[in-house]
Amino acid sequence: MSDIMSRGFRTGTAAAKEAAKSKSFNRIDFFKLSDGETTYVRFLNDAWELITVDMHNMVPTKPKPEDWEGDNWPKVTSVVCRNTKMGDGLPLFGDCYVESSGMRNPRDESKPFPTASRTWAVGVIREPVFGDGSEKMGGEAQKGKRVGFRDSTKEVDEIKDGKPTGKKIKVKEFVLFTMGWQNFFGAVEGAAQAYGTILDRDFQIIRDGEGLKTDYKVVGLDPTRGFDLRDPAVAAKYGITIDLNTLDADGNPKKTYPEDIDISKLVMDKADADYFARFIDPTKSSTNGKPAVVKPVTDASVDQLAAMAARISNIPVRPPVVEPFPPDEAYESAYPAEAINFEE
């Protein structure tokens, strides 16, 4: 669990201005993959940090408010259910408009709007690097073979003082996973139990099927030499601070994430009363002006949030520490046992 609560939330107009200036609010997209496609990812959260909440997906939005600039008003949006049952058995906020308004399932009017349990994690998309025959890439023997991975990047508009400067900048391709347990995170948990962590290697993800028949094959690849995100120096490349001398309530080193890749903050943004007021609940108006992708949670005090965060159900995965499997020498010499990380 991150420590957003102990840091508190920034409030007031000065903070809002500061937030608008902040460079990177457009950095994170939801993870998406088409049927039959393959991708590679490095998770930035270990298995014990994953957060599971109830969600309402594809909720129809209310009519476009007058103060909304532009034509890109979404037709549907996803929200975290404000009635999500927490570890203490009590609801998160207890006033979810999707339920209290009696919204119906668009596919079957006789049923209430669906609720789905989703597990959250952040990751960075990785792209394979192939040997070019050079010594650095494993020499002639590895020519044309996959020798490792590097972070995928994308071009975005540079934002300064809340406005695009007209310049494009290259940023790491972060993705937010809000996926099911049965067809996705169950396999991730399996890897965590086998390897003791999910931060020491890249994962290959293949999507198979569509709609309710979607399955994901999630496979942990060879560990990456010198590139383990439990190492504070490696985590720092993503702006993540790991304090090995301070343990959190679970006995793990204290980690602090930049706010745009902090899953507890991202979860709370999608459960925020102002988000519901802005996009879903026609009886309320947003009080925050045009919403940023990430903005302060407004309807609870820091203490209440601390209590809520403690109640968000972390997945009960405490991977056992495992001894590495003894290497088979013939196999080791035929294949490199570790992948290599390449800087962009």
Residues that bind Zn ion (CB under 5 A): 81, 83, 96, 98-99
Residue 83 or 224: the one with the smaller Cβ distance to Zn ion is: 83
Q: Min. distance of Cβ 71 from Zn ion in angstroms? A: 29
DSSP state of 15: H
Q: Min. distance of Cβ 57 from Zn ion in angstroms? A: 11
Q: Min. distance of Cβ 117 from Zn ion in angstroms? A: 12
DSSP state of 33: -
Residues 190, 315: Cα–Cα separation, whole Å: 13
Residue 98 or 242: the one with the smaller Cβ distance to Zn ion is: 98
DSSP 34-82: -TT-EEEEEESS-GGG-EEEEEEEEEEPPPPPTT--SS---SEEEEE-T
Q: What residues does 253 pair with on adjacent strands? A: 247
Quote helix, strand, coil % in the chain, to nearest 5: 25, 35, 40
Q: Are residues 179 and 207 in contact, defined by beta-carbon separation less than 8 angstroms?
A: no
Residue 187 or 280: the one with the smaller Cβ distance to Zn ion is: 280
Residue 96 or 221: the one with the smaller Cβ distance to Zn ion is: 96
Residue 59 or 261: the one with the smaller Cβ distance to Zn ion is: 59
Q: Min. distance of Cβ 53 from Zn ion in angstroms? A: 10
Q: Min. distance of Cβ 81 from Zn ion in angstroms? A: 3
Q: Are residues 341 and 227 in contact, defined by beta-carbon separation less than 8 angstroms?
A: yes
